[in-house]
């Protein structure tokens, strides 16, 4: 075996190792981003529910509604193939039944849009629908706490 062959082989192994490590780091970043997104959704939802229960509707409420809509629009990209690992509450069914998951995410987006567009008495009903959309996903696609 020549020295040149050994060096090329080691270089190839090193490149492959770096590539695998980089892909794993990207996947872990995907999971971290997803978890951060849902932490933000929880904050937005808390503010929206408070208004639905009688707190005053303010400009900040509108920002929370718009923020939730932005997250709902981003949600489908938060579950890339290969991100079904690590410390996460996401169930494998997300990747096993992607079409069913897409339907639930579309319900999330539609209900978040309803909240962003709701005014007056319709606001509480829209927030309730958003809660139902969240529950639909939590029931089937998220580990029970």
What is the per-residue pLDDT across 103-114, written as a single tens digit (0 to 9) for each? 999 999 999 999
100 pLDDT above the threshold of 90: yes
The packing angle between helices 98-117 and 59-74, to 10°, is 160
CA 28 vs CA 31, 65, 72, 78, 128: distances in Å:
5, 29, 21, 12, 33
Mean pLDDT, rounded, of the chain = 85
Least confident of 4-13, 36-45, 134-143: 4-13
The DSSP letter of residue 68 is: H
**Alpha helices, DSSP H only, in the chain?**
3-52, 59-74, 93-96, 98-117, 122-141
- Percentage of the residues of the chain whose pLDDT score is greater than 70: 82
């Amino acid at each position: 075996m020549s020295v040149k062959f050994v060096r090329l082989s080691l270089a190839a192994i090193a490149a492959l190792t770096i590539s695998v490590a980089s892909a794993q780091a990207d996947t872990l970043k995907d999971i971290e981003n997803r978890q951060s997104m849902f932490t933000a959704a929880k904050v937005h939802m808390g503010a929206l529910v408070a208004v639905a229960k009688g707190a005053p509707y303010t400009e900040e409420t509108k920002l929370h509604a718009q923020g939730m809509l932005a997250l709902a629009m981003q949600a489908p990209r938060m579950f890339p193939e290969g991100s079904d690992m690590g410390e996460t509450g996401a169930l494998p069914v997300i990747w096993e039944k992607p079409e069913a998951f897409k339907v639930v995410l579309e319900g999330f987006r539609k209900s978040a849009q309803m909240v962003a567009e709701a005014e007056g008495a319709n606001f509480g009903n829209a927030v309730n629908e958003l809660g139902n959309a969240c529950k639909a996903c939590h029931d089937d696609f998220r580990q029970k706490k």
